């Protein structure tokens, strides 16, 4: 597994995760997931508020750009997605069917355009306020190195795992994709977004610590939490942590 690419994917996750909490554009399109379909590209799942989680529309963006320049550029990725949403009267008409993704049926492929040097001008950040009740953003941010507080990074515990994606599976569960150190492949972890009585679950900064403990080579907790899920092409193993954390 390409660790350098995993770091770039982590940056893409960090870039778009905040738009799970506030709309990406004026029409109320939210990010519903960021997955890693190939080593050189990231896929951003989009949907209007209230849209069923099985009908996402997606945009594929390159993790590395033209002229040998390495690294994912957050502003360029955001601006490209916003431009598509702004110019398309019917965004789905510009997308093509994709196979093997259980979370979306159609996707825009922007990898060729951006990798060859095309790109919109940098746009100023929207002034729309964040939705502080959003549960996906709480969970994902707790596993990343938040740039506002820690200087950024692809993991809260890079010595144990790298966060390479997430997707909202249903209103109470988010699936996060991590690349554990020393395990070789991407692992999916299903995490709860609500408490037993339905209140929003705020990780409070401890989720990264709890997850990192699971990847201690001497810890066997994960063995009892493994669940079969052959329908997810973005991971090699899947674990249900909804009752564990």
* pLDDT tens string 114-128: 766 655 543 433 333
Rounded to whole angstroms, how far apart are CA atoms 242 and 6? 25
Q: What is the pLDDT of residue 122?
A: 37
Cα distance between residue 151 and residue 188, in whole Å: 26
Please indicate whether residue 4 or residue 242 has the higher confidence score (pLDDT).
Answer: 242
Nearest Cα residue to 177 out of 169, 49, 186, 103? 186
Instruction: Output the pTM of the full model.
Output: 0.65
Question: Please, what is the angle between helix 3-17 and helix 135-143, to 10°?
Answer: 150
Q: Are 194 and 43 spatial neighbours (Cβ–Cβ below 8 Å)?
A: no
Question: Is the confidence at residue 187, as pLDDT, over 70?
Answer: yes
Q: What's the alpha-carbon Rg for the chain, to the nearest Å?
A: 17
Domain boundaries, the chain: 3-115, 135-240
Section 188-199 average pLDDT: 80
* DSSP output for 125-177: PP-PPP-TT-HHHHHHHHHSB-TTTT--BS-SSTTTEEEEEEEEEETTEEEEE
Strands 56-62 and 104-109, sheet pairing: parallel
């Amino acid at each position: 597994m390409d660790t350098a690419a995993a770091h770039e994917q982590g940056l893409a996750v960090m870039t778009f995760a905040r738009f799970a909490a506030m709309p990406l554009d004026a029409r109320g399109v939210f990010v519903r997931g960021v997955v890693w379909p190939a080593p050189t590209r990231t896929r951003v799942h989009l949907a209007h508020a209230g849209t069923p989680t099985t009908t996402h529309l997606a945009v594929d963006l390159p993790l590395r750009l033209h002229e040998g320049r390495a690294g994912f550029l957050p502003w360029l990725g955001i601006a490209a997605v916003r431009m598509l949403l702004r110019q398309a009267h019917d965004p789905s008409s510009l997308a093509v069917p994709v196979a093997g993704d259980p979370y979306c049926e159609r996707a825009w492929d922007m990898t060729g355009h951006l990798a060859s040097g095309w790109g919109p001008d940098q746009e100023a950040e929207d002034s729309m306020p964040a939705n502080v009740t959003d549960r996906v953003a709480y969970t994902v941010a707790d596993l990343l190195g938040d740039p506002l507080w820690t200087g950024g990074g692809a993991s809260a515990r890079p010595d144990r795992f790298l966060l390479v994606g997430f997707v909202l599976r249903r209103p109470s569960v988010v699936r996060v994709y991590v690349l554990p150190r020393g395990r070789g492949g991407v692992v999916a972890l299903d995490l709860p977004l609500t408490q037993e009585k339905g209140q929003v679950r705020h990780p409070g900064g401890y989720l990264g610590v709890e997850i990192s403990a699971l990847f201690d080579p001497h810890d066997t907790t994960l063995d009892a939490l493994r669940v079969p899920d052959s329908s997810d092409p973005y991971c090699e193993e899947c674990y249900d942590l909804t009752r564990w954390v």
